[in-house]
């Protein structure tokens, strides 16, 4: 039995459940939240502000739906249709006036209880940290306090990932969570304060750092927030408000060190997109996901999400995982088909790997598989033009040259005259 360093006590899974105690072995103790060098976070956020994925990676955001299976493309449209009704309401929510006179009293418990009654799995409070706001949303965020809300994604559907059922679990959670966020904001306005909804999917900031600051989990090697009850199987949303609330503190659940022992997601990622070792990135110590190795996989194979599905904390919960580790020094489920096995269904072209992959087995892909458009939409347009020039070197007086140049101009024109970037992160 390993020596227990400290015990984390968290509210139970459902509202009204008894609290759970999570033992953290001494050898897994690091710091509450995440190791961080504050001045480096300041520097990077100032000099290299974060961009929304739809902006920084706009080129592959446009590309991704084109390589999805027909079922994914159909679902993409259906989901967009559902969400389109919510985006304007969420984006305008911060402009609505409060509907009551504020008492000035601390309303943390009122908000927490309401959220738990509504079915949110995790609720926490922290400062809405401007360093994590996306560059094109800087003027959008109205209030300084963040209510962090995590909604659990269906367990059984997620266990089938990659699959259309898991995709329905993922995006179906967004469809439930968007109106829940609007209801929460309305509740806060009824207490006499402003409230603005951010997410799911139309986020104004990188959410995970604020969820970590609010004590709701720690960053996993899969690049996702590991919450104590459901691991990364949660969808995140933030409500900013000027209501008087008490901030929570970050927590050391032992996950930061446990990931270095576990490594299941790293071993099972079909794209080899997850890194074994931690590095310092923008002022925090983390296992940095390699985006360009993930994107081609998740776009083609039903959202992939294998790194979520195989995580023992998603499957068994942190209490069971930490108790087992404390007793045995082993990772619960590691090496079993039940935890680590997955099936890749046929993708759009029928060219790439399919079938079942058990522990120790991984598909392989060629270099062409990983070739995707890079960067912003402007980058993608320029990249295509350069490719054209390279392909016709020494032969640049062709009639097609004019057409190519005009196409390039038209693509740039559409971008600079304000063709908007989607609120959706689907694909
Ligand atoms: S979604 Fe798939 S490809 Fe991407 S990091 Fe996770 S396991 Fe790897
Ligand atoms: S699978 Fe293991 S290494 Fe990966 S995030 Fe979960 S606990 Fe960490």
| DSSP-assigned states of every residue in 18-54 | PPEEEEEEGGG---SS--B-HHHHHHHHHHS----HH
The pLDDT, as a whole number, for residue 137 is 93
Q: How confident is the model at residue 61 (pLDDT cuts 50, 70, 90)?
A: confident
For residue 395, pLDDT over 80 is answered with no
Which residue's alpha carbon is nearest to atom 7 within ligand 2?
259
**Residue 307 alpha carbon to ligand 2 centre in Å:** 8
The pLDDT, as a whole number, for residue 368 is 95
For residue 203, pLDDT over 90 is answered with yes
Q: Which ligand is nearest to the CA of 332?
A: 2
137 with 239, same domain?
A: yes
By residue range, what is the domain housing residue 110? 1-375
Q: How confident is the model at residue 196 (pLDDT cuts 50, 70, 90)?
A: very high
Residue 262 Cβ contacting ligand 2 at under 6 Å = yes
Which is the closest atom of ligand 2 to the Cα of 263?
A: 3
Q: Are 168 and 75 in contact (CB under 8 A)?
A: yes
**Residue 339 alpha carbon to ligand 2 centre in Å:** 12
252 with 387, same domain?
A: no
310 with 348, same domain?
A: yes
Which residue's alpha carbon is nearest to atom 1 within ligand 1?
305
370 with 389, same domain?
A: no
The pLDDT, as a whole number, for residue 425 is 59
15 with 131, same domain?
A: yes
185 with 75, same domain?
A: yes
393 with 295, same domain?
A: no
Please compute the mean of the pLDDT values over residues 150-159 and round it to a whole number: 97
Q: Which ligand is nearest to the CA of 261?
A: 2
**Residue 288 alpha carbon to ligand 2 centre in Å:** 13
Q: How confident is the model at residue 220 (pLDDT cuts 50, 70, 90)?
A: very high
Q: Are 122 and 238 in contact (CB under 8 A)?
A: no
345 with 405, same domain?
A: no
State the DSSP code for 336: -
Q: Which ligand is nearest to the CA of 268?
A: 1
- Please count the CA atoms within 13 angstroms of the CA of 116 that sit on its side-chain side: 16
> Tens digit of pLDDT for each residue in 250-299?
999 999 999 999 999 999 999 999 999 999 999 999 999 999 999 999 99
Q: Decide if 138 is inside a domain.
A: yes
The residues, ordered by sequence, that sit 6+ positions from 197 with a Cβ below 8 Å of its Cβ are: 89, 90, 93, 178, 181, 182, 184, 185, 237, 239
* Distance of alpha carbon 141 from alpha carbon 110, whole angstroms: 23
> Tens digit of pLDDT for each residue in 77-111?
999 999 999 999 999 999 999 999 999 999 999 99
* Distance of alpha carbon 211 from alpha carbon 248, whole angstroms: 10
Which residue's alpha carbon is nearest to atom 3 within ligand 1?
294
Q: How many domains does the chain have?
A: 2
Residue-averaged pLDDT of the chain: 95
For residue 424, pLDDT over 70 is answered with no
Q: Which of 203, 170, 240 is nearest to 421 (CA)?
A: 203
**Residue 270 alpha carbon to ligand 1 centre in Å:** 7
Report the Cα–Cα distance between both ends of the chain, in Å, rounded: 44
> Tens digit of pLDDT for each residue in 123-141?
999 999 999 999 999 999 9
* Distance of alpha carbon 72 from alpha carbon 357, whole angstroms: 22
Please compute the mean of the pLDDT values over residues 213-230 and round it to a whole number: 98
Q: How confident is the model at residue 383 (pLDDT cuts 50, 70, 90)?
A: confident
Q: Decide if 422 is inside a domain.
A: no
For residue 422, pLDDT over 90 is answered with no
Q: How confident is the model at residue 421 (pLDDT cuts 50, 70, 90)?
A: low
68 with 89, same domain?
A: yes
The pLDDT, as a whole number, for residue 31 is 98
């Amino acid at each position: 039995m390993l020596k227990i360093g400290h015990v984390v006590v968290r509210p139970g899974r459902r509202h009204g459940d008894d609290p759970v105690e999570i033992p953290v072995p001494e050898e897994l103790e690091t710091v509450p939240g995440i190791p961080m060098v504050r001045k480096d976070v300041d520097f990077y956020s100032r000099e290299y502000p974060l961009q929304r994925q739809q902006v920084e990676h706009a080129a592959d955001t446009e590309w991704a739906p084109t390589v999805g299976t027909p079922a994914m493309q159909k679902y993409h449209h259906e989901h967009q249709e559902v969400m389109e009704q919510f985006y304007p309401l969420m984006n305008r929510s911060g402009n609505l006036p409060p509907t009551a006179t504020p008492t000035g009293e601390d309303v943390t418990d009122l908000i927490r209880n309401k959220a738990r009654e509504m079915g949110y799995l995790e609720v926490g409070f922290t400062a809405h940290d401007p360093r994590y706001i996306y560059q094109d949303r800087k003027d959008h965020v109205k209030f300084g306090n963040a209510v962090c809300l995590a909604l659990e994604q269906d367990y059984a559907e997620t266990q089938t990932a990659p699959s259309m059922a898991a995709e329905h679990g993922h995006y179906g959670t967004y469809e439930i969570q968007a109106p829940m966020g609007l209801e929460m904001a309305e509740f806060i306005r009824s207490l006499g304060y402003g409230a603005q909804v951010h997410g799911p999917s139309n986020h104004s900031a990188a959410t995970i750092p604020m969820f970590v600051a609010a004590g709701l989990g720690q960053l996993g090697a899969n690049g996702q927030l590991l919450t104590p009850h459901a691991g990364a199987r949660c969808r995140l949303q933030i409500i900013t408000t000027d209501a008087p609330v008490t901030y929570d503190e970050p927590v050391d659940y032992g996950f930061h060190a446990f990931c270095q022992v576990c490594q299941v997601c790293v071993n099972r990622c079909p794209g080899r997109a997850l890194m074994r070792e931690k590095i310092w990135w923008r002022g925090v110590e983390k296992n940095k996901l390699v985006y360009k190795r993930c994107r081609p996989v998740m776009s083609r194979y039903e959202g992939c999400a294998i790194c979520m599905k195989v995580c023992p904390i998603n499957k068994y919960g942190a209490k069971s995982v930490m108790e087992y580790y404390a007793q045995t020094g082993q990772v619960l489920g590691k090496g079993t088909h039940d935890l680590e096995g997955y099936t890749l269904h046929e993708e759009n072209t029928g060219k790439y790997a399919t079938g079942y992959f058990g522990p120790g087995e991984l598909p392989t892909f060629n270099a062409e598989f990983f070739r995707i458009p890079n960067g912003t939409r402007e980058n993608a347009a320029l990249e295509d033009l350069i490719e054209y020039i390279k392909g016709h070197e020494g032969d640049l007086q062709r009639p097609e040259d004019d057409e190519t140049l005009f196409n390039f101009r038209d693509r740039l024109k559409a971008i600079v005259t304000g063709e908007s970037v989607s609120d959706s992160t689907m694909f």
